[in-house]
Amino acid sequence: MQDYKTIDLKDIQFLVSLLGKDRVFTGEAINEDFSHDELGGISRMPDVLVEVLSTDEVAKIMKYAYENVIPVVARGSGTGLVGASVPVFGGIMMNMCGMNKILEIDEENLTLTLEPGVLLMEISKYVEEYDLFYPPDPGEKSATIAGNINTNAGGMRAVKYGVTRDYIRGLEVVLPNGDVINVGGKVVKNSSGYSIKDLICGSEGTLGIVTKVILKLIPLPKKAISLLIPFPNLDMAISTVPKIIKSKATPTAIEFMQREVILAAEEFLGKKFPDNSSDAYLLLTFDGNSTEDIEKDYEKVANICLEEGALDVFIIDTDERKEAVWSARGAFLEAVKASTTEMDECDVVVPRNKVAEFIKYTDVLQKQFNVRIRSFGHAGDGNLHVYVLKDDLSDEAWEKKLSEVFAAMYSKSEELEGLVSGEHGIGFAKKGYMLDQCGCEYVGLMKNIKLAFDPKNILNPGKVCQ
Amino acid sequence: MEILVCIKQVPGTSKIEVDPITGVLKRDGVDSKMNPYDLYAIETALRIKEQKGGTIKVISMGPPQAKEIIKEAFMMGADEGALVSDRKFAGADVLATAYTISQGVLKMGKFDLILCGKQTTDGDTAQVGPEMAEYLGIPHIANVLKIIELKEKSVVVEMDMPNTLEIAEIQFPCLLTVEKDIFQPRLPSYRKKVSTKDREIKIISLKDFEDQDEKRYGLTGSPTQVERIFPPSVNNDRETWTGTGAQLSFKMSEKLKQLKFV
């Protein structure tokens, strides 16, 4: 346990002198939302919440906090799922959402420069007007870009396009001592020393505060068609995925879903899904520049699926059909959440040809522990989202069961050569599982990296490797 | 049960440009699709067939490329389809269109039930269905929300009369236009796409009609004269206010008064 300075009147006066009193909040003026993130469970109020609007403000606050040894946490939309943005040591919380301007679209370099608080949903809308495309597509569209960068968020299109890290060209970062550095830039190639940019990405707010972002864009594919493919059971559905990947077809996304989750989404939305007669489905998307090109690509996959026992292959080619299917897909998490009292999520990633084995194992756990387990999501990139549901278990029984089920899942993932988190991060909640898997040398190296960036350990302490 | 569904090909997006000089929709290079409302009509037909048996035919009027949506109807489960197509039909208004399709219907056989979508997303008139029924001399009900009961010689439906819901029984043969969401339309099937790849789509042109009087078709058969087509003006004015709830509500009420909304 570290000794941090407790926030006092002098500190508040400093913050007010810098930001004005309208952007400094203490005590009851701080909304309860700032004490936790999306999944809850871990919470602590910051001692003071500030709204920052410029790199200069961030740098000055960091410098002050560094001199006075005050813990600082930077927060975006708070849509994280592992407690990474929870100020577990109190201190200063910086709300980055006010830094939300898109600064420049550079059509000659295909880059977009923006402030950290711009929401993901705004980025796609903005760049598509220029026939450009920012491919990372995490489900939570109200997350900020810096939040996505700090978790290296993935999303559905990872199968074809990769993850957030693949689209960061440059960053402006405020270091824990208040210094401002620029890493990367608009350049396409970069062999100039250690890639600090790639280290900041995925650091969950522990190494520096991102204050400006340069993203890589690509030309916007003109058309997209999805296929909804019903299978008699989940095993057949998921076992087909490695064959699709082997066929060298290039879907942007391969998702799987089960009937019970579809029914939950129908009830949640009060809207019928176009087909709910089968036990399991794959949902694939293909994009390209013409319907003919896309058809060529998907026909190969459609035939593979039929050979593997798919009942049919449904084509989703118009806005109305996309809306009918994707609105349900987008509501799965909320629908599962609404069907129970509390839940926790395991976000492991396993090699793609092991997905079926892992999912089958969760089915075994469901029976073995007599607990409801639901899963859906990315079958094409090996990243699973497995939800363990509390239902009417007592708090005590739940805690016990949850930790046993989680331990079993993480050990299975390790056995299959998977990793603890595919896209949600480690934050506070999954530290133990990562420390177990990574081993002393690896964790020691991470701790030394943290020390090099943050010798006084004031930036988002108690997270990831600590 | 012999069912006919009327379908139309419409632009694939709502972002259609109008040529400012000629006032004509720029359709070149624009994707097209089946009128979304017609999907509900096809789905209704398929559900009725599942219950009562029979065949489902589809009819469309348009240029040769409108065959695409007939193929799509096959992919959803329709059994036969025909396209009413002739250069002489070009420029038809609502009345001429309804007459043209009704002539086409006569060439397709006898039907117990004709189903249409409530309206199209391009023309938006919702009149072609009912007018066809008049030309065919059969009763019709528009804006059907629900099929309540299918009887031997009639069907009981719930219809949407803007302020009330009415339940009505209607004798076969008849025509119904159905509302959005009467049933969730099924998705087109790749299996059916493959199996109906070579299915014939009959073309019906003026020379096939009983009434071959050219004056009744196309632009010459249309009493409606369109003076001008123009895109609706788009208003993107936005103001962002910040303040406390009390300040904002006061400001809002002042603004609404100023704009004469209250």
Name residues 257-286 of chain A within 8 A of B (Cβ). 271-275
Asked if the C-beta of A321 comes within 8 angstroms of chain B's C-beta atoms, the answer is yes
pLDDT recorded at residue A330: 80
For chain B, say whether A295 makes contact (Cβ under 8 Å).
no
Using an 8 Å CB-CB cutoff, list chain B residues near A231.
none
Q: What residue in B sits closest to A316 (Cα-Cα)?
A: B187
Find the radius of gyration of the CA atoms of chain A: 23
What pLDDT, on a 0 to 100 scale, did the predictor assign at position B260? 87
- Residues of chain A found within 8 Å of residue B34, distances taken between Cβ atoms: 318
Contact A101, A115 (CB under 8 A): yes
Q: Which chain A residue has its CA at the smallest distance from B243's CA?
A: A22
Question: Which pLDDT does position A271 carry in this prediction?
Answer: 86
The reply to whether residue B191 touches residue A315, judged by beta carbons under 8 angstroms, is: no
What confidence score (pLDDT) does residue B22 get?
67
Distance from CA of B215 to the nearest CA of A (A): 37
Interface check A314 vs B, CB under 8 A: yes
A311: closest chain B residue by CA: B191
Instruction: Read off the tokens for B133.
Output: 């029924």
State the amino acid at position A229 in one-letter form. I
Tell me how crowded residue A55 is: count the other CB atoms within 10 A of its CB.
Answer: 19
Q: How far apart are the first and last CA of chain B?
A: 55
Nearest Cβ partner for B190 among A271, A275, A312: A312
- Per-residue pLDDT at A280 exceeds 90: yes
Rounded CA-CA distance A86/A78 in Å is 9
pLDDT tens digits, one per residue of B165-183: 999 999 999 999 999 989 9
User: Which pLDDT value is given to residue A95?
Assistant: 96
Under DSSP, the state recorded for B186 is P
For residue A172, name the pLDDT band (cuts at 50, 70, 90): very high
Of A142, A173, A137, A185, nearest to A62 by C-alpha is A173
Does any CB of chain B come closer than 8 Å to the CB of residue A315? yes
Q: Copy the structure tokens of residue B171.
A: 């004798």
pLDDT of residue A122: 95
* d(C-alpha A225, C-alpha B153), whole Å: 42
Name the H helices within A196-318.
196-200, 234-246, 259-269, 291-307
- Phi, psi (deg, nearest 5) at residue A72: -130, 135
Least-confidence region, from A21-25, A102-106, A435-439, B179-183: A435-439
Q: Which of A228, A274, A302 sits opposite B185 (nearest CB)?
A: A274
- The owner of tokens 């009942």 is A311
Residue in the structure block whose two tokens are 């949600």: A424
Contacts of A275 in chain B (CB under 8 A): 186-187
Euclidean distance between CA atoms A416 and A409, whole angstroms: 11
Residues 340-369 of A with CB under 8 A from B: none
The chain B residue lying nearest A321, using CA atoms, is: B187
pLDDT of residue B73: 97
How far is the C-alpha of A176 from the C-alpha of B160, rounded, in Å?
64
Peptide bond into B173 cis (omega under 30): yes
Q: What is the pLDDT of residue B238?
A: 83
Is residue A324 within 8 angstroms of chain B, CB to CB? Answer: yes
Tell me if B121 sits within 8 A of B35, measured CB to CB. yes
Amino acid sitting at position B1 = M
Query: What residues of chain B score a pLDDT lower than 70?
Result: 14-16, 20-25, 27-29
**Amino acid in position B18:** V
Task: Give the DSSP per-residue string, A175-187.
Answer: -TTS-EEEEE-S-
Interface membership of A306 toward B (CB under 8 Å)? yes
CB contact under 8 A, B190 and A227: yes
Residue A330 Cα, gap to closest chain B Cα (Å):
18
Would you state the structure tokens that stand for residue A110, as one six-digit string? 């295909």
Distance from CA of A272 to the nearest CA of B (A): 6
| CA-based nearest distance A313→chain B, Å | 5
Residue type, B129: G
> Where is average pLDDT lowest: A223-237, A295-309, B7-21, B92-106?
B7-21
- CB-CB neighbors (< 8 A) of A223 in chain B: 31
Nearest Cβ partner for B186 among A275, A319, A320:
A275
Preferred mutation among A131, A271, A314, A317 to probe B, highest tally of B CBs within 10 A = A314
Which residue in the set A315, A317, A320 is minimally distant from B36, CB to CB? A320
The pLDDT of residue A1 is above 60: no
Query: For residue A136, which of A121, A114, A117 has the smallest C-alpha distance?
Result: A121
User: Average pLDDT for residues A235-248, to the nearest whole number?
Assistant: 91
DSSP track, B6-65: EE-EEESSS---B-TTT--B--TT--EEE-HHHHHHHHHHHHHHHHH--EEEEEEESSGG
pLDDT 10s digits, B30-52: 788 999 999 999 999 999 999 99
- Inter-chain CB proximity B33 and A318 less than 8 Å: yes
CB neighbour burial string for B80-102, b if at least 16 within 10 angstroms, e if fewer: bbbbbbbebbeebbbbbbbbbbb
User: What ipTM was reported for this prediction?
Assistant: 0.84
- DSSP per-residue string spanning B69-97: HHHHHHHHT--EEEEE--GGGTT--HHHH
Smallest Cα distance from B184 to chain A, Å: 6
3-class secondary-structure state, position A103: strand
A134: left (phi over 0), alpha (psi -120 to 50) or beta: beta
Nearest CA distance, A333 vs chain B (angstrom) = 22
pTM: 0.85
- With CA atoms as reference, report the closest residue to A350 among A360, A358, A341, A342: A358
Which of B16, B121, B183, B190 to mutate to probe the A interface, most A CBs <10 Å? Answer: B190
Interval A84-105 mean pLDDT? 95
CB-nearest partner of A314 from B33, B184, B187: B187
Question: Contact, B78 vs B195, CB < 8 A?
Answer: no
Whether A314 sits inside 8 A of B188 (CB atoms) is: yes
Residue pairs between chains A and B whose CB atoms are closer than 8 Å: 49
**Angstrom distance (rounded) from CA A415 to CA A422:** 16
Distance from CA of A447 to the nearest CA of B (A): 43
* Residue reference for tokens 């401002």: A180
